[in-house]
Structure 1
């Protein structure tokens, strides 16, 4: 088992790029992670990494060993999943990622309840509005909210979510309300943008009488954190484009007001993505089923 543990550490070091990140991911100190890799190198009689003070890169032997090692770990995980399915007692670790907003509101708050039902399953949650490389980072399930493109991953649709444009009443009183979507571009309105390295969307797609149209909006405020964007809108700094359920409480208490209700943004889909083989694992199916029902219930209650 120690040898298999050493292989698992080596694989995560390759995938995450350094010992510290691999150690954190596997709940090991950097020193323990380093010793595991050194033990593996002694066993194989080769150097698996080229080490400098700033960089850790696989050697030719390391790259070759990684390909086989990854297959070994995948095979072990599939075998464990088969046993769990037959025994009826799923156990092990699930790595989950979600955007900050829905992650905090819908996913994170449900994990203790999930753990109460399935105490032998450990959930490791990573929240980020940045794109996450699921394969490289070993993610089992990614909850996504957006206009989802076709990919090599399986997708479980949870629900379609209405989006709205909204701004603080004080901002609209000062600037005036736009009469149509083109005024967002030409009228000097401050559009609050969610942007981060690698982000594709630098425009808003609105539903018009001629169908969906893209508008190249801009403004002096952008952030890689969706909650920051909402806070700026509440403070009267501009117009935000948000799923309605995220800002419904502010719309109801009057702190935000819907802008251009006749030409709203196109809806977004809330979904769970996972590699095809992962859904054969009972613990992954259980988590996706649990969170699907929970998200549908909670969003329904928010909008009721």
Structure 2
């Protein structure tokens, strides 16, 4: 396809969107006569009437509608291609909207964004947090970080890393109650459970094991909440044993504020995904965010890079 043909597609799209030769001329900064002449040249080249026009009516013929609809798709593909190529050398700029689960967002993503923003001063970044990290893209978000495989039609989904759930409690709780010797003994301990935010369903079936055997223990919580940070805070204050994501508690484990129970065993494995609407992954700011986040999260309680 020649440059003139691409230009004709762009011109014809602008003409149809304007709704008349006069309005198109105003938008293109030219005269109605010039618009009419160019339209006539396109129709002559194609050998078909594209626009049915008279003093009272402006409409598309069947071939005109086909030319318009297919032309929009072709022009969009060209624009996406050029954006993808140029984004590799262009500094990220503009606005970047990021969604994340509350605890991950506050403890890990927010500090990362501080450093990321310092490296890319032309970016304005918005961070939106939700209790379960679930958004739709009508929220004007460019990247959504999601724990667990998302089901978002039309989105580009990239696995970033994996974490896992671990059993943990404060040193104060362990001094008072001692450590369980076996996962089945969890039923005799004070347990802290998360509930689903909308349904209030209790997440009290805790899986813990190794590569060959997994034990699933159903606990009755002493305390439960719909917010993961509250569970975290209760664990820190000695209220009981929590089944937490390693990425949320790894720093407290390193500092001794929490103690991992059954350190040779592991709980449910959870993957972290970046969800990007449609072609958004071609933007320089989105590509930079995802690429720079990958190595960072490997130091923040995640086990491997996707």
> Residue 289 of structure 1 is aligned with which of 279, 288, 291?
291
TM-score of the two chains, using structure 2 as the length reference:
0.60
Task: Determine the structure 2 residue equivalent to 1:240.
Answer: 242
1:205 to 204, 207, 220: 207
User: How big is each residue's C-alpha offset from its partner over 1:179-218, in whole Å with a ceiling of 9 and x where there is no partner?
Assistant: 3223324x25323325422577713222257644543333
Q: Which residue of 2 aligns with 1:99?
A: 101
SS of corresponding position for 1:192? strand
C-alpha distance 166-83 of structure 1, shift in aligned 2 (>3 A): closer
CA distance in 2 between counterparts of 1:188 and 1:298 reads: 29
Contact conserved, 1:158 with 1:296, CA < 8 A, in 2? no
1:270 matched to 2:281? The reply is no
Q: Contact (CA 8 Å) 1:195, 1:222: kept in 2 or not?
A: no
> Per-residue CA shift, 1:26-51, capped at 9, x if unaligned?
xxxxxxxxxxxxxxxxxxxxxxxxxx
Secondary structure at the aligned position of 1:191 is classed as strand
Q: Distance in 2 between matches of 1:287 and 1:248?
A: 23
Decide which moves more: 101-110 or 203-212.
203-212
SS of 1:98 mapped into structure 2:
strand
Provide Cα deviations, 1:213-249, integer angstroms capped at 9, x if missing partner: 5433331322333222121111111111223343334
Name 1:140's counterpart in structure 2.
Answer: 142
Q: Does the CA-based 8 Å contact 1:81-1:281 persist in structure 2?
A: no
How do residues 91-170 of structure 1 correspond to structure 2 at under 5 angstroms?
A: 91-145=93-147, 147-148=148-149, 152=153, 153-170=155-172
Structure 1 Cα separation of the partners of residues 237 and 226 of structure 2? 18
Q: Which runs of 5+ in 1 are unaligned?
A: 1-71
User: Residues 102 and 132 of structure 2 are in contact (CA less than 8 Å); yes or no, is this contact kept in structure 1?
Assistant: no
Cα deviation, residue 124, structure 1: 1.2
Structure 2 distance, partners of 1:198, 1:122, is 35
* Corresponding residue for residue 229 of structure 2: 227
Matched residue of 2:298: which SS? Answer: helix
Cα offsets for 1:70-98 (capped at 9, x unmatched): xx9xx99x958945853743433222111
**Alignment-derived partner of residue 184 in structure 2:** 182
Helix, strand or coil at the partner of 1:133: coil
1:205–1:265: 8 Å Cα contact kept in structure 2? yes
Larger Rg: 2
Equivalent residues of 2:274, 2:290 under 8 A apart: yes
Distance between the aligned counterparts of 1:272 and 1:159, measured in 2?
10
Change (3 A) 1:130 1:249: closer
In 2, distance between residues paired with 1:117 and 1:249? 25
SS at match of 2:182: coil
**Preserved CA contact (<8 Å) 2:189 2:240:** no
Equivalent pairs, count: 225
Instruction: Indicate the larger mover: 109-118 or 208-217.
Output: 208-217
Q: What is the SS of the residue equivalent to 2:137?
A: coil
Give the unaligned 5+ runs of structure 2.
1-71
**Alignment-derived partner of residue 217 in structure 2:** 215
- Choose between structure 1 and 2: higher strand proportion: 2
Aligned to 1:86: 86
Quote the RMSD (CA, aligned, Å).
Answer: 3.4
In structure 1, distance between residues paired with 2:200 and 2:267:
18
State how far apart, in whole Å, the 1-side matches of 2:123 and 2:85 are.
14
TM-score for both structures, normalised by structure 1: 0.61
Change (3 A) 1:217 1:228: same
Q: Provide, for residues 128-162 of structure 1, a one-character-per-residue CA deviation record: whole Å limited to 9, x for no partner.
A: 223422234232211233x4356544332222224
